[in-house]
Chain A
Amino acid sequence: MQLIRNSGGPGARAAGRRSDTPSAVPRLLPSNPQADDRPHAASFANDAGDSRLAALRRTVARLETGWLGAPPPPLSLDLPDIHRHLPDAGLAGGALHEVSAAAYGDIAASFGFTAALMACATRARRGPALLVVSRRGTDVGSPYGHGLRRLGLDVGRLLLVETRTGKDALWAMEEILRADAGAAVVAGISETPLDLTMSRRLNLAASAAGTPLLLLRPPAATGLSAATTRWRIATAPAGRDRFEAFAGWRWRVALERCRNGRAGQWTVEWDHVAHRFRLAEVVADRAVPAGTGRARHRRAV
Chain B
Amino acid sequence: MAPGTGGARLVALNDAAWRSGLAVGDLLSNARSKVLGLQSREADPAADDAALHRLTLWCLRYTPVVAPWDAANGADGLFLDITGCAHLFGGEEKLLADLATRLRHFGLCPRLAIADTAGAAWAIARHGDVDNAIVPPGVQQDALRDLPLAALRLSASAQEILCRLGFRRIGELMRQPRAPLVARFGASLLERLDQALGREPEPLSPQEPPPCYRAQAAFVEPITTQAHVVEAATRLLCELTPALMRAAAGVRVLRLLLFRPDGEVLPLQIGLAAPSRNIPHIARLIAMKLDRLPAGLQAEFGFEAAALHVLAAEPIRERQAALGIDGGEADSGEPAGLAPLIDRLEQRLGAGAVRRLHARQSHIPERAVAARPAADEPASDWRIETPFGIRPPLLLPRPEEAADIMAMVPEGPPRRFRWRGALHDVAHAEGPERIAPEWWHPGQDAPERDYYVVEDTGGRRFWLYRAGRYRPGHAVPRWFVHGLFP
Contact = CB atoms under 8 A, between A and B. Distances in A.
Interface in B444-460: 453, 455, 457-460
B337 interface: yes
A138 B353 CA distance: 16
Nearest to B334: A128
Interface in A232-246: 234-238, 240, 244-246
A150 B486 CA distance: 11
Nearest to B481: A141
Nearest to A178: B341
B24 interface: no
Interface string B363-400: 00100110100100001111001110011111111000
Contacts of B460: 105-106, 108-109, 235
A238 B397 CA distance: 25
Contacts of A266: none
Interface in A126-147: 126-128, 138, 140-147
B362 to A, nearest CB: 11
A245 B453 CA distance: 10
Chain A interface helix/strand/loop/mixed:
mixed
B393 A144 contact: yes
B287 to A, nearest CB: 14
Interface in A153-212: 154-164, 168, 171-172, 175-176, 179-183
A160 B373 CA distance: 9
Where chain B touches its partner, the secondary structure class is mixed
A249 interface: yes
A156 B392 contact: no
Given A148-B393, A181-B341, A112 B349 contact: no
B239 interface: no
Given A111-B394, A140-B484, A145-B382, A161 B453 contact: no
B393 A112 contact: yes
B344 A179 contact: yes
B427 A150 contact: no
A115 interface: yes
A276 B352 CA distance: 33
A108 B337 contact: no
Contact of A151 (B387, B393, B459): B393
Nearest to A250: B459
Contacts of A143: 357, 393-394
Contact of B395 (A147, A163, A182): A147
A236 B459 contact: yes
A175 B331 CA distance: 23
A159 B338 CA distance: 10
A54 B354 CA distance: 41
Point out which of B335, B341, B356, B386 has the most chain A C-beta atoms below 10 A from its C-beta.
Answer: B341
B386 A149 contact: yes
B349 A151 contact: no
B356 A159 contact: yes
A151 B485 CA distance: 10
A182 B368 CA distance: 29
A115 B486 contact: yes
Nearest to B340: A179
Nearest to B327: A126
A251 interface: yes
A277 interface: no
B395 A144 contact: yes
Contacts of A161: 345, 349, 353-355
Interface string A92-125: 0000000000000110110111011000000000
B430 interface: yes
B355 to A, nearest CB: 5
A115 B393 CA distance: 9
B349 A168 contact: yes
A245 B349 CA distance: 43
Interface string B152-193: 000000000000000000000000000000000000000000
Interface string A67-104: 00000000000000000000000000000000000000
Nearest to B393: A147
Given A127-B335, A175-B345, A181-B337, A151 B486 contact: yes
A106 B382 CA distance: 28
Interface string B311-354: 00000000000000000010100111110111011001110011
A133 to B, nearest CB: 10
B381 A168 contact: no
A244 B390 CA distance: 16
Contacts of A175: 341, 344-345, 348
Contacts of B374: 159
A246 B385 CA distance: 22
Contacts of A126: 329, 331
A280 to B, nearest CB: 11
A146 B394 contact: no
Given A141-B395, A141-B396, A237-B459, A155 B357 contact: yes
Contact of B355 (A106, A156, A160, A179): A160
Given A113-B486, A155-B357, 5 more contacts: A141-B483, A148-B393, A149-B391, A150-B391, A175-B348
Ranked 3 nearest A-B pairs via Cβ: A112-B486, A182-B335, A235-B459
11 contacts: A115-B486, A138-B394, A142-B394, A144-B392, A145-B357, A146-B386, A147-B395, A168-B348, A171-B348, A172-B345, A182-B337
